[in-house]
Each structure stands twice: as structure tokens, then as C-alpha cells.
Amino acid sequence: MLRRAGLAVLLLSLGACTTPDILDCRAANGLTPDCRFQNPEDFAKSPSGIALIISEMGQGSLESRAGRLVAYVPSAESGRGDIRVLWPRTSMPSMVTSLASDAAALGDPSCPALGNARFVPHGINARRLDDGRNVLFVVNHGDRESIEIFEIFDDGREITLESRGCVLAPPDATTNDVVVLSDGSFRVSDSFRRSENTLVSGLRMRYGSHRPGFAWEWRPGRGYSRIAGSETAYANGIESSPDGRFVYLNGYFENALIKVDTETGQRVGEVSVSGPDNVTWTDDGRLLVASHHAGTFDLLKCLGIDRGNCGFRFQIVEVNPETLASRVLLDQQGPPIGAVTVALPFQGRLYLGTFAGDRIVWMRMPE
């Protein structure tokens, strides 16, 4: 999301133009909230399927306070599940994990250990690697712009993370979301240049032809290479086809999900989606895109929310990855949630998270 530069002046003069925040925490419109979170922006499934791993951002901007990673174990009886902090770790795990070693390390060997540095997670992605390890890759906007790499230990009762390395972001990059490949390589979306004035760049992207965003691919021993054909206005959520050939990248201010063939470097298709944020896979091979229907002032206002939840309208759009045919599964404005950034099917429910608020919600899976 956009930085806070110029936010105060705009809000003072234009606050009346924005959608009201949602302050109560009651089920409505078939959606059940759990309001114990801090900006739960992205989700992944734990290896055993017992929990959602949730990325809690800071205050919604790159200058935000620290965030955390948590595991959320749903309750079958109610909407409130068990929240377990995964990172930063407050105590040593009780389950046995392998010790860090050169053999266990992933990422760039020259990347300094995370240690006690400020941690501000954003996009996340979990995967089982070819060597059998379960990993979680995390975009981090803390004291450094980086991709942090964790190994997930999940015995079906307890979940822990062990840091396994990192890769610093390319110079001047503003990374957003990440997708892991089976060999430990990854692809990451890069929204805009950090050296640009963020507010001005955002307005140029939204109302002009400025397209500074694209996707990178990083491979061990080779480093970063830019994915040809991925240029867009504010690159946001990213996924890859199961065989790794195609990239699905959300151009937030282009209002499109684009499909890129990494073998040819060509954009091979796109589907119109308003303000697409994160994109996830369903178990049966469809893509789910969280779509924003918000004015500029709604977006800016929601970056500064300090209680309740941002209220602007959103949709969840289902996309066929082959034909790019799409349909709207959910169109929602009002309680109990707005500004949804991610939709992920889990344990027979559809879970939704947000970049600007204190809650996740769940609903029955749409047919």
C-alpha cells in the first residue's frame, strides 16, 4: 500500500468523501469475524492443514510499526480459533527442530541473519520443496527490504518456524508478494521505485500511464532477473502455474490480472479485475483474486486506521487459469469487513483477510 506522504493534508480536506470504518465485530451477510488481529494481509496453509499462517502487517505503510506471523487454528464450534505467535518468537519451541547449518540454509549466503531486526511481514507463500522441506517465504519491510525464508515444522499439533536464510531485495525495489518455486527459487512482485515520491507515483499509476511495477525471479547462484512481459502499474499479488512456466501477476492500478509466459517473455492474456490485490490457488486449480472497489481517498484513509476495520467495497473473483474466464463469487460492502486483500479456502470455509483492520472473517465456500 501507499506510504503516508501527504496523507494528513488529504484527509483533513477530503475525509467526508470516504467510506465509514466498521467498528463493531458481529457476524453479518454470511460472514463471521474474529477481531483479534493487526492487519492480517496474507494467508498460507500449514503443511499438516491444521492452521492458517497469517501475515500481520504493521500499520499499513512501509514506515509502519513491526508486525508478526501467527498460526490460526480454527474452532469447529465457533468463529474464534486459537492464535499462536510464530515470529518473532517469544520463547524456544518445545518440538524438535533441526539446527541451522550450511546444509539447511536457503537463500543468499551473503544475506545477514535477521536476528532482532524489526520485522514487518507483507506477502507470504508456503511450499514443499523438492528436498522434502516445508518452507515459508516472507516479504519483509522492516529494517531492511528482504525476502525472509523459514522452514516450517508442523506435527499436526504444534507449528514452529526456523529461520533458514534470506535474500535482500534489489536496489530501489518495493517488494509486495512472493511465490516459491520447488527448488527454492522464488518470484516476487515489485510495485514501484522506492526513490520515487510515493504519493505522486501512485497518482501517476492510477490516473496516468506510469507502469513502474513488474516481477523478479531469483535463483541460487544467479541472483535476480527481471521477468519480461510483467510490466504493470503497481505489481501486487503473484502466483505461478504448477509447472512454473506461467506467472499470474496483479496490476493493482492497471485493474488487471495478467498472465505471462516466462519461456517467451510475453504477456499471453489478462482479465479485467478492479484493484486486484492478492491471488491464491483453490484446491481444484482455480485462482481467487481479492478485488478492491475504492476511491483514492478511501485507500489513503485506510492506511491510517487505528481501530476497527476499513469499510470499502471488495469482491472475490474466481479466474480460470487457462482461459482467464472469470466470475464474481462475493461482492461485499459494509459489516463485518471491507478492504479484503486475500481469500483462501481452508477446512471447508473461505477465509478473508485485510490490510487495514483488526479482523479476519470466514464464510461457507461459494458454489
The per-residue pLDDT for range 34-65, each reduced to its tens digit, is 999 999 999 999 999 999 999 999 864 444 57
pLDDT at residue number 288: 99
CA pair distance 66, 61, nearest whole angstrom = 11
Cell 504493470 sits at which residue? 232
Name the band, by pLDDT with cuts 50, 70 and 90, for residue 355: very high
How much is the pLDDT for 79?
Answer: 60
131-147: pLDDT as tens digits: 999 999 999 999 999 99
> Could you tell me if residue 83 is left (phi over 0), alpha (psi between -120 and 50 degrees) or otherwise beta?
beta
What's the average model confidence in pLDDT over 162-166? 97
Residue 244's CB is within 10 A of a number of other CB atoms, namely: 16
Give residue 343's Cα distance to chain centre: 10
**Is the predicted pLDDT of residue 185 greater than 50, yes or no?**
yes
Average pLDDT on 239-258 reads 98
Is 50 a domain residue? Answer: yes
Q: Judge whether residue 2 has pLDDT over 60.
A: no
Q: Is 237 inside any structural domain?
A: yes
- Region 177-202: mean pLDDT is 92
pLDDT digits (tens, 9 = 90+) for 284-308: 999 999 999 999 888 888 988 889 9
Domain-embedded: residue 2: no
Q: Which residue has the cell 486483500?
A: 341
Query: What are 265-280's pLDDT values in tens digits?
Result: 999 999 999 999 999 9
- What is the predicted pLDDT for the residue at 367? 81
In a domain, 289, yes or no: yes
Q: Count up the domains in the chain and report the number.
A: 1
Confirm whether 222 is domain-assigned.
Answer: yes
In a domain, 13, yes or no: yes
- Whether 190 has a pLDDT exceeding 60, the answer reads yes
Tell whether 16 is covered by a domain.
yes
Phi/psi of residue 105, each to 5°?
-70, 145
* 1 within some domain: no
Average pLDDT score over residue span 315-327? 99
Sheet containing 52-56: which strands, arranged edge to edge? 40-45, 52-56, 68-73, 82-87
**Which residue range is the domain that position 258 belongs to?**
7-364
pLDDT bucket at 6, cuts 50 / 70 / 90: very low
**The predicted structure's pLDDT at residue 61:** 47
CB 68 within 8 A of CB 147: no
Note the pLDDT tens digit of each residue in 77-118: 766 899 999 999 876 554 444 444 556 899 999 999 988 889
- CATH no. for residue 256? 2.120.10.30
Averaged pLDDT, 227-232:
98
pLDDT tens string 202-226: 889 888 888 999 999 999 999 999 9
- What global pTM score does this model have? 0.92
Mean pLDDT in the chain?
90
